Amino acid sequence: MRYNRRQNRESAMSDRGSILDVTEATFESAVLARSQSVPVIVDFWAPWCAPCRTLGPLLEKLARQGAGAFVLARVNADDNPRLAARYDVHGLPTVKAFADGRVVAEFTGALPEPKVREFIRKLAPSPAEQALNEGLSLLATHHWREAEAAFRRALDLQPDQGAAALGRLKATLAQGRGCEAVALLEDFPRSDESVAAETLRPLAEFLCEVEGADLPLDETELDALYHQAARLAAHGRWAAAMDGLLDVLRQDKKHRRGAPRQVMLAIFELLGDDDPLTREYRNELASVLF
């Protein structure tokens, strides 16, 4: 594929501004100002540069695939020598990424596609990664319903995204939908998050056990305490639920083969290590068990 200015102009028009030819006169508005709202990747190239003919089309392809996640700005270094000197361009191709009006990352030479993709990924998350990051922020502040919606969007875009699947599982549990969480665990994508997901299974089964079920009238006192704790957890009353589980453990550490302990560990995983309840009740649990 020839890397020439005619093709550049045609692709810039077809990609609605995600690929631009930039000069010294337009650099301020096209790169510095625009980088305040979206990452801008500047490709310094020249017509005689053989590696540029490889890297240029690759960057164009990734810009199209990015669907606006970043802008590709191409600068012909021969036509804009002062701009190249201003940004210390000593070899071609040179790629510099701008955010908030300044250079935040760069490389020189025609890197292989996986490395270029990684370079861009760190600067401009994909729509799926953006949805994931939004979900994680909402999860951290316990906005469970909004977090679940964000994770669903991420999974619609990338169904095998383990982090989004784990986030959705946590948001589902936090809203008391244990049986749905059990189903999510059965279809959980194989990923680095699989182990963390399994630590939540006791909580999912705990909640599911009292979800729309008629419990036996002749259940034992400890089972009654256990199920009451599950009802409290289903309504987000974590402290009261864990108090109930601790009451069960104080009377019988081996009740239901240690299920109360496993449920509390799952609640800690759900709330996170930095949550005050996690710190408080982790100490309470240790004092009861040991």
How far is residue 17's CA from residue 68's CA, in Å, rounded to a whole number? Answer: 8
Among residues 288, 177, 178, the alpha carbon closest in space to that of 243 is found at 288
User: To which residue do tokens 């906005």 refer?
Assistant: 143
49 given a catalytic annotation: yes
Bridge partner list, 190:
none
Choosing from 52, 139, 182, 232, the catalytic residue is: 52
Q: What distance lies between CA 37 and its chain's CA centroid? A: 20
How far is residue 76's CA from residue 93's CA, in Å, rounded to a whole number? Answer: 10
Choosing from 31, 42, 49, 271, the catalytic residue is: 49
Among residues 153, 156, 154, the alpha carbon closest in space to that of 129 is found at 154
How far is residue 233's CA from residue 214's CA, in Å, rounded to a whole number? Answer: 18
Strand pairing category for 40-45 and 71-76: parallel
Strand pairing category for 71-76 and 19-21: parallel
Neighbours of 121 (CB within 10 A): 14
**Residue 17 main-chain phi, psi, to 5 deg:** 90, 0
How far is residue 22's CA from residue 96's CA, in Å, rounded to a whole number? Answer: 14
DSSP E strands, the chain: 19-21, 40-45, 71-76, 94-99, 102-108
Tell me which residues are annotated as active site.
49, 52
